[in-house]
Amino acid sequence: MKHIDHHILRKALAAVCLAACAGGVAAREQSLQVLHWWKSASERQAVGMIARRLGEHDVRWRDALVPSGSGVGAGIVLRSRMLAKDAPEVAQLNGIVVRDWARLGLLLELDAVAAAGKWDKLLLPTVAATIKHDGHVYAAPLGIHRINSMFYNRQLMLRLGLAVPATWAEFERIAPRLQRAGIVPLAQSSEPWQVATLFETMVLAEGADLYRSLFHRRDAAAYADPRLGAALLRLRSAKRWMGSPIRESNWVDSVRELAEGRAAMMVMGDWVKGELLARGLAVDEDFGCAAAPGTGRYHLYNVDTLSMLGAHAEARAAQEKLAALALSPSLQADYNMIKGSVPVLANPARAKMDACARASWQLFSSGTAAQVPSLVHRMATDEIVRDAIVAEVHRFFLNDSVPVEDAQRRLGTIARTYIKTQ
Ligand code: BGC
């Protein structure tokens, strides 16, 4: 009897404590687990800033980091967590991926937040379209990156008296001089997504019409176009201007080479700018930015967005707070300055923008004629096709014995084989 009393008492106390503690915690603080791939110094700073501001609204940001450049593997992690009924409350999903998850009914619809915040008026039209599926809003946009960016070590170029190349022909003219001075002309890793990022800018240099029919419309005939062959061969021949051997390194390692003056230029999305700033370098002083050769008229873009997973009724209020916060003008200005991207707003605060950001935002906001959605960064086509194209381009880059006609044929087969879902 004594034993039973003791047992009941313990259970009762536990129940009281559970109710009190849970109530207390819920009243004090909610938390959101966010799955993302931002791991570099500048990416961490940008995340830290959002987390701090979210904290001011009594919501704690809990990191679920999948450390991989450009989110390689993040989709797999998210899918397996969904299957294991262990979904995070928030995930970084970009571009077409938002639509694909929304179609499966897995995302929280953010229509009420968007209506309250007048997102339709606030956002640049292309961004507003990116976050919608079937007329409903499924993501909160953070910033627009320009993929066809080229960063250069300004002091190095000045010292050698070299002009920043606007075309690949100009690049070829100055590259031997850099090499003779013991400097790697182009900082580049052989990691598949990084090779494919360079490649897509080279395709764009052959024509925006070609780019759109290859990757956006997936027009099979375009894969036989000689300009695609030219871009493939240019990619392969650019190897002689990269470090030797070309290592499969993280993109941050290439930024370091550029910052330390071991390499002169780097073609990559403008998250590189965020990283150069985080290293203490100054725009227009230590480094400069330009369009990737031959692409000055275009803005090859991706948009970073956060989507809310729908399986967490209790987290809804906190999820909506995060979505609303993403669009606040001051977060937009501060976050994007750290991250290297530009605000998604139609009328952002321009005072804080540096020359690179101003150029990027102005070109993007000039309208759809200048905007080209990035294949590699998930804006042009679904992930299966993207992954297959990236793998094929990587194979062609590494293996000099693959004939260019072969690569074109194989890329054409990929484009034809998979059913278009947009
Ligand atoms: C994302 C950026 C990120 C970069 C490198 C891109 O796909 O849009 O936010 O900084 O990958 O990981």
For the chain, the domain total comes to 2
- Residue that finishes a domain, picked among 364, 385, 405: 364
| pLDDT digit string, tens, across residues 136-149 | 999 999 999 999 99
For 173, 242, 273, 397, the CA distances from 195, given in Å and listed in that order, are 22, 12, 19, 8
- 213 Cβ below 6 A of ligand 1: no
* Residues 295, 208: Cα–Cα separation, whole Å: 9
Please report the atom of ligand 1 found closest to the CA of residue 70. 11
- 145 Cβ below 6 A of ligand 1: yes
**Is 378 within the bounds of a domain?**
yes
Q: Identify whether residues 309 and 357 lie together within a single domain.
A: yes
Q: Identify whether residues 240 and 155 lie together within a single domain.
A: yes
**What mean pLDDT value characterizes the chain?**
93
Give me the domain span that covers residue 266.
149-300+373-420
Shortest-distance Cα residue to atom 10 of ligand 1: 271
Q: Identify whether residues 194 and 284 lie together within a single domain.
A: yes
Which of 303, 304, 376, when mutated, tests ligand 1's pocket best, judged by the most ligand atoms within 8 Å of its CB? Answer: 304
- Residue 218 is encoded by which pair of tokens? 């997936």
Q: Identify whether residues 245 and 382 lie together within a single domain.
A: yes
Q: Chain centroid to CA 408: how far?
A: 27
Shortest-distance Cα residue to atom 9 of ligand 1: 304
Shortest-distance Cα residue to atom 7 of ligand 1: 70
pTM for the model: 0.93
CATH number for the domain that contains residue 233 = 3.40.190.10
Asked if residue 323 has pLDDT above 60, the reply is: yes
**Is 310 within the bounds of a domain?**
yes
| pLDDT digit string, tens, across residues 19-75 | 334 444 444 579 999 999 999 999 999 999 999 999 999 999 999 999 999 999 999
Q: Identify whether residues 265 and 381 lie together within a single domain.
A: yes
- Ligand 1 mean position, distance from CA 7 (Å): 55
Residue 418: predicted pLDDT: 79
Q: Identify whether residues 359 and 379 lie together within a single domain.
A: no
Which of 145, 193, 375, when mutated, tests ligand 1's pocket best, judged by the most ligand atoms within 8 Å of its CB? Answer: 145
pLDDT grade, residue 422 (50/70/90)? low
Q: Identify whether residues 288 and 173 lie together within a single domain.
A: yes
Q: Identify whether residues 81 and 129 lie together within a single domain.
A: yes
Q: Identify whether residues 104 and 136 lie together within a single domain.
A: yes
Mean local confidence (pLDDT), 295-323: 97
**Is 9 within the bounds of a domain?**
no
Q: Identify whether residues 46 and 74 lie together within a single domain.
A: yes
Please report the atom of ligand 1 found closest to the CA of residue 376. 7
